[in-house]
Homo-oligomer: A and B are copies of this chain.
Amino acid sequence: MTSTPSPVHVQATDADDQPEPTAELEALYQAFESELLVPLWTEIGDLMPVEPKSAALPHLWRWRNLLPMAAQAGALVPVGRGGERRAIALANPGLAGRPFATPTLWAAIQYLNPGEDAPIHRHTQHAFRFVIEGEGVWTVVNGDPVAMRRGDFLPQAGWNWHSHRNLSDQPMAWIDGLDIPFQHYTGSTFFEFGPEETDEIREAPPRSYSERLWGHPGLRPLTHLRPTPSTPLLAYRWEHTDCALSGQLTLEAEGHPATVEPGHAAVRYTNPTTGGDVLPTVRTEFHRLAPGTETATQQEVGSSVFQVFQGTGQVTVGDTSWTVEQGDLFVVPSWQPLSMTSEHGLDLFRFSDAPIFEHLHLDRGDQA
């Protein structure tokens, strides 16, 4: 039944293979335009390339540049109702000046002065915080105060009420990741302002309610037995991440399979109610390259943003290479080859839009 033909690789082009330009054709094209029509044959090279060509470009933002600007915004720009957050977003140079790190992902540095609050709101956009340095802010989610500390990952599923409070005497900055561009593009975003009063935190608890309920490996409270699309665990602490990664490298050293490739340990943050991604549209991972590691080159459908957590290394995305250091953020557009090396060790946080493709069976493995 399936007489699969052997494919012939022809070059798709925009300009070539076009019909002879004539007055009649020109008239037809004008008629198309006036009727809001566009022919496929003039667009196919752009619309249906042989492999993905993202408008986004590989790009690197330096933490040493970002942080002072955020501090400057802290001095000049109030935080409060209306603007809602003192967040400054990465704008990919291929995406027309929009505050989009990739076509689907938002990445921003958020900054809160001592004693400041970011007001309560909720939105359908899925969000997370990742803390590269500092502490002292609590994110309050539906009344549950979640401490933020270096190395912590805090997922924040859509449509939950949340605010941020700096209870310390130091400013704090961190990274926000969201699917704002995706929801903006697809027209699926709702937003609601919360009450004006700040969430009351009597004290500053070291562990959130959610961690006390959900932060035990493989143990599920009997009060919460249904799978939820997003994780109920509101903080993934650095001590666990660090321990899991060290563990993989030790297992590897003992001769057991545990790492992605030699010297390359990695974990995915998961939803304990399903084992899947923490958020329906955003994947988050932590990667550790042991000193002297050189990764294989990877290509995947969908885009990623990485932030260097600690260490240094060389990163190559497509034709671009950078030497990276703590706090630096870089973008890997869809299908751009990525490789990394590190002489002295490199820890990286990563987020991507991979769940979108997997849920829709558009991840390449599925189709190749």
- With A3-B199, A40-B108 given, name 11 new contacts (CB 8 A): A22-B76, A35-B65, A38-B99, A40-B99, A44-B83, A48-B123, A186-B302, A209-B251, A218-B269, A220-B268, A223-B258
Contact at A143–B1, with CB atoms within 8 Å?
yes
Using known A-B contacts A8-B196, A72-B28, determine if residue A268 contacts B219 with beta carbons closer than 8 Å: yes
In the complex the two chains form, is A81's CB within 8 Å of B240's CB?
Answer: no
Name the B residues within 8 Å of A142 (CB-CB).
Answer: 1-4
Mind listing 11 A-B residue pairs with CB under 8 Å? A1-B143, A9-B193, A13-B82, A18-B82, A19-B77, A186-B362, A212-B248, A213-B258, A217-B236, A222-B268, A223-B259
Contact B267 A216 (CB under 8 A): yes
- Bound-state CA distance A108–B285 (Å) is 40
Contacts of A262 in B (CB 8 A): none
By a CB distance below 8 angstroms, the chain B residues around A230 are 361
Question: In the complex, what residue of chain B is closest to A333 when comparing beta carbons?
Answer: B187
Contact assessment for B8 and A193 in the assembled complex, using a CB-CB cutoff below 8 Å: yes
Q: Which of B4, B10, B214 contacts A161 (CB 8 A)?
A: B4
- In this complex, what residue of B is CB-closest to A222? B266
Does any Cβ of B come within 8 Å of A66's Cβ?
yes
* Chain B min CB distance to A85 (Å): 5
Any chain B CB within 8 A of the CB of A303?
yes
A191 and B275 contacting across the interface, CB-CB below 8 Å: no
Nearest B-chain residue to A364, judged by Cβ: B190
Residues of B with C-beta under 8 A to A7:
122, 192-195
Assess whether A321 is interfacial by the CB under 8 Å rule. Answer: no
Is A272 on the interface with B (CB-CB < 8 A)? yes
Judge whether B218 and A236 touch: CB under 8 Å: yes
Indicate if the CB atoms of B191 and A218 lie closer than 8 Å. no
Residues of B within 8 A of A322 (CB): none
Interface-lining segment among A87-95, A167-175, A289-297 = A87-95
- Which residues on the B side are within 8 Å of A311 (C-beta)? none
Interface size bucket, A side? 35 or more
**Which are the 4 A-B pairs with shortest beta-carbon distances?**
A17-B82, A41-B83, A187-B334, A3-B143
Q: Do B76 and A28 touch across chains, with their CB atoms under 8 A apart?
A: yes
**A99 engages B43 (CB within 8 Å):** yes
Report if A35-B272 is in contact (Cβ < 8 Å); known contacts: A10-B193, A49-B189, A82-B17: no
Instruction: Say yes or no: B82 contacts A302, CB within 8 Å.
Output: no
**A187-B333, A223-B259 in contact; A272/B269 too (CB < 8 A)?**
no
Chain A 230-258 near chain B by CB (<8 Å), digits 1 or 0: 11010010001101100110110000111
User: Which stretch from A51-59, A131-139, A312-320, A337-345 is at the chain B interface?
Assistant: A51-59
Nearest chain B CB to A354's CB is how many angstroms away?
Answer: 11
Q: For A4, A5, A61, which residue has the most chain B Cβ atoms within 10 angstroms?
A: A5
Query: Which residue from B52, B247, B281, B361 sits with its C-beta under 8 Å from A213?
Result: B247
CB-CB < 8 A to A213: which residues of B?
A: 247-248, 251, 258
Which of A3, A32, A218 has the most C-beta atoms of chain B within 10 angstroms of its own C-beta? A218
